[in-house]
Each structure stands twice: as structure tokens, then as C-alpha cells.
């Protein structure tokens, strides 16, 4: 399962060639392999989840590198804590 997830992520990265430094919630959810409602729930409930930055009343972005680092910290040691 984890290898498939990593392979999917590598394909996503290859498709984009260079990840944007910031991600909208939909992109962040795709990066983490979860639905958009789950992404927002984690942002609201998980203390260690990367904080979003509001650009306007209807636009929030998340640091892509922080999302990747958070995901990797949850998958350390072969345990998937996502």
C-alpha cells in the first residue's frame, strides 16, 4: 500500500515537474491522498497540521513543503498515521 502511494505521489510530482511553493486546499488534499473534507477537518483538529495562510476571505493557501514534511513525519518507520 505505501509503495503504491509513494509511486502515485512520484507520478504526481513528475506530472507537475515543479511543485508550487504554496498549495490550495484541493491540491493539498491530493498531495496527502485524502478528500477535501478530510483535509479541512485535519487542519481544524490536528495540532501539528501545517497552518494555512489566508490571502482573502475565500482563499487560503498552505506551504507545500510543510505539507510534504508533515506527511512524511506521519509515515516514518513504516507506520502510516494518516
Q: What is the pLDDT of residues 2-24, one digit of tens each?
A: 677 667 766 666 555 456 789 99
Alpha-carbon gap, residue 71 to 79, rounded angstroms:
11
**What phi, psi does 79 have (nearest 5°)?**
-100, 125
Cell numbers of 1, please?
500500500
Question: What is the reported pLDDT for 16?
Answer: 55
Beta-carbon contacts of residue 21 (< 8 Å; ≥ 6 apart): 63, 64, 65
Alpha-carbon gap, residue 46 to 28, rounded angstroms:
15
Question: What is the reported pLDDT for 80?
Answer: 63
Question: What is the reported pLDDT for 17?
Answer: 47
- What domains, with CATH codes, occur in the chain? 2-78 (1.10.10)
Taking only the tens place, the pLDDT of each residue in 24-68 is: 999 999 999 999 999 999 999 999 999 999 999 999 999 999 999
Query: For the whole model, what pTM was predicted?
Result: 0.72
* Model confidence at 82: pLDDT above 50: yes
Amino acid at each position: 500500500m505505501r509503495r503504491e502511494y509513494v509511486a502515485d505521489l512520484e507520478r504526481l510530482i513528475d506530472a507537475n515537474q515543479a511543485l508550487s511553493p504554496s498549495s490550495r486546499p484541493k491540491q493539498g488534499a491530493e498531495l496527502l491522498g485524502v478528500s477535501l473534507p478530510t483535509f479541512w477537518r485535519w487542519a481544524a483538529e490536528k495540532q501539528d497540521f501545517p497552518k494555512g495562510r489566508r490571502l482573502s476571505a475565500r482563499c487560503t493557501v498552505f506551504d507545500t513543503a510543510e505539507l510534504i514534511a508533515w506527511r512524511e513525519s506521519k509515515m516514518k518507520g513504516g507506520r502510516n498515521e494518516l
